[in-house]
C-alpha cells in the first residue's frame, strides 16, 4: 500500500516550515500515491509557503505564549481549545496513517490529538534545547528525531534518533562551486569574500555592525555579500554604490552565495546552523538574544564548544568583533581548522533518515 495519508505540522518561521516541506518531498518521492495535508497557524508564513511548494494546508487559530502579560496571553487558553477541537475535526476527516511535527505553535495541538488517538507520530526537534511544545509532546509521540547529541535530558532516551535537520540538496556540493559562485555575484577572485546572513527578515544588530565596519572591511581588502533582510533593505541599499559591497534583501541562489564566500557571519537558528555545518566554511555566529529560551545562543555554543565556529554575543560585539574577524582573515590555518571541525558535525542524510523513521511507523 502506498496511498498513505500523511499529515504534517510545523511553522511560524522558515526554520519549522522548510524541514516539514523537505520531509514531505522525500516521502512523496517514495510514495507517489500518498496524500499529504499540512496544518499551520492561520496567520503565519506557512499559509503562503506550503501551497507554493504544492501542498494543501489547513490553518489553526493559535499563537505562542508571550513572555509578558498581554491580551494575546489572555486569549491563549481559548485559542488552544479552539485549535484542539479543529485538530480533532481535521484528523477525523483526513484519517492520517502518520502524523509528523517539526515544531512551532500549530504542531502542539495537532500532534497531541493525533497521538491521543493512537496515530503513529513523530516529531523533529531542530534545536539543541527543545521548545515547550516538543518537550510536552515527547512523552506522547513514538519517535523523536533530533539534530544534536545530549537530548536525553529532555526526551525519553528510547525514542530518540539522531538524524540532523533536513537541508536543501543543492548545498551538498558547494565546495566545488567556489569559482562559479564568485562569477555569479561578479566578485573579484583575488579578494576574500564575507557573506552576512541575518535570516529572511534580517537582523537589526548585525546590520548596524556591518554598516559601522564598511571602511574597516575596505581597509582589509574584503568584499561583502550582505543579506540585510527585507525589513531593512530600503535603509541599506544605498551602500550598493560602494565597490566592495553588495546589499541584498534576500538571496535566491543561496548555494552560490555560500560557495562564493570565504568567511560567513550568521545568526544561529537551527536550520542555518545545520546548513552551515554542511557548507563547511569558517563562521562567526552572532545569535539573536530575542528568541524563545535563548535557543540560538545554545545552538551556537554547541558548535563553538567543539572549536568549529566563533561565537560572539551581541553584547560583546564592540569589544570582540575586530580581533575575532582579523584573526580569521589573517590565518588560513585557523580558517581551515574551523572548516574541518564544522564539516565533521554535518549530518547530510537527515531528510532520508527522518523519512526512514516515518516509513517504519507506516509499516508497523
Given a cut of 60, whether residue 133 has pLDDT beyond it is yes
Instruction: Return the CATH number of the domain spanning residue range 170-344.
Output: 3.40.50.2000
pLDDT category at 248 given cuts 50, 70, 90 is very high
How confident is the model over 53-71, as a mean pLDDT?
A: 75
pLDDT category at 12 given cuts 50, 70, 90 is confident
Q: What is the pLDDT of residues 204-213, one digit of tens each?
A: 999 999 999 9
Please tell me the distance from the alpha carbon of residue 355 to that of residue 164, in angstroms, as a whole number.
Answer: 12
User: What residues does CATH 3.40.50.2000 cover in the chain?
Assistant: 5-166+349-362, 170-344
In order, the DSSP letters of 111-157 are HHHHHHTT--EEEEE-SSS--HHHHHHHTTSSEEEESSS-GGGTS-G
Provide the whole-model pTM: 0.82
pLDDT category at 9 given cuts 50, 70, 90 is very high
Q: What is the pLDDT of residues 152-174, one digit of tens each?
A: 999 999 999 999 998 877 888 89
pLDDT category at 73 given cuts 50, 70, 90 is confident
Q: Of 121, 104, 103, give the one whose Cα is nearest residue 112.
A: 121
CATH superfamily of 5-166+349-362: Glycogen Phosphorylase B; (3.40.50.2000)
Kindly report which listed range (21-25, 192-196, 293-297) carries the lowest average pLDDT score. Answer: 293-297
pLDDT category at 85 given cuts 50, 70, 90 is confident
Residues ≥6 apart with Cβ < 8 Å to 116:
140
Please tell me the distance from the alpha carbon of residue 299 to that of residue 265, in angstroms, as a whole number.
Answer: 15
Please tell me the distance from the alpha carbon of residue 128 to that of residue 94, in angstroms, as a whole number.
Answer: 33
Amino acid at each position: 500500500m502506498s496511498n498513505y495519508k500523511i499529515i504534517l505540522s510545523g511553522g511560524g518561521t522558515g526554520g519549522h516550515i522548510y524541514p516539514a516541506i523537505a520531509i514531505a518531498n522525500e516521502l512523496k518521492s517514495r510514495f507517489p500515491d500518498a496524500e499529504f495535508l499540512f496544518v499551520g497557524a492561520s496567520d503565519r508564513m506557512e499559509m503562503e509557503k506550503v501551497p507554493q511548494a504544492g501542498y494543501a494546508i489547513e490553518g489553526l487559530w493559535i499563537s505562542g505564549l508571550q513572555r509578558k502579560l498581554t491580551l494575546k496571553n489572555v486569549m491563549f487558553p481559548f485559542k488552544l481549545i479552539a485549535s484542539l477541537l479543529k485538530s480533532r475535526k481535521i484528523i477525523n476527516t483526513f484519517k492520517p496513517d502518520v502524523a509528523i511535527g517539526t515544531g512551532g505553535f500549530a504542531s502542539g495541538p495537532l500532534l497531541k490529538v493525533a497521538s491521543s488517538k493512537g496515530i503513529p507520530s513523530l516529531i523533529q526537534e531542530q534545536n539543541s534545547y527543545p521548545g515547550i511544545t516538543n518537550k510536552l509532546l515527547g512523552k506522547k509521540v513514538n519517535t523523536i528525531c533530533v539534530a544534536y547529541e545530549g537530548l536525553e535530558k529532555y526526551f525519553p532516551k528510547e525514542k530518540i534518533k539522531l538524524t540532523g535537520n533536513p537541508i536543501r540538496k543543492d548545498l551538498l556540493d558547494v565546495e566545488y562551486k567556489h569559482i562559479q559562485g564568485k562569477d555569479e555575484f561578479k566578485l573579484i577572485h583575488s579578494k576574500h569574500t564575507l557573506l552576512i546572513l541575518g535570516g529572511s527578515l534580517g537582523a537589526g544588530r548585525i546590520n548596524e555592525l556591518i554598516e559601522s565596519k564598511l571602511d574597516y572591511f575596505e581597509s582589509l581588502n574584503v568584499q561583502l555579500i550582505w543579506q540585510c533582510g527585507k525589513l531593512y533593505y530600503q535603509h541599506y541599499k544605498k551602500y550598493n554604490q560602494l565597490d566592495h559591497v553588495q546589499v541584498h534583501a534576500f538571496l535566491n541562489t543561496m548555494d552560490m552565495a555560500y560557495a562564493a564566500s570565504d568567511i560567513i557571519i550568521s545568526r544561529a537558528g537551527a536550520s542555518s546552523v545545520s546548513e552551515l555545518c554542511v557548507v563547511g566554511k569558517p563562521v562567526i555566529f552572532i545569535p539573536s538574544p530575542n528568541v524563545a529560551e535563548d535557543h540560538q545562543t545554545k545552538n551556537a555554543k554547541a558548535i563553538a564548544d567543539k572549536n568549529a565556529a566563533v561565537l560572539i554575543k551581541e553584547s560583546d560585539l564592540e569589544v570582540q568583533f575586530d580581533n575575532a574577524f582579523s584573526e580569521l582573515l589573517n590565518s588560513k590555518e585557523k580558517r581551515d581548522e574551523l572548516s574541518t571541525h564544522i564539516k565533521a558535525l554535518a549530518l547530510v542524510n537527515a531528510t532520508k533518515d527522518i523519512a526512514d523513521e516515518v516509513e517504519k511507523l507506516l509499516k508497523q
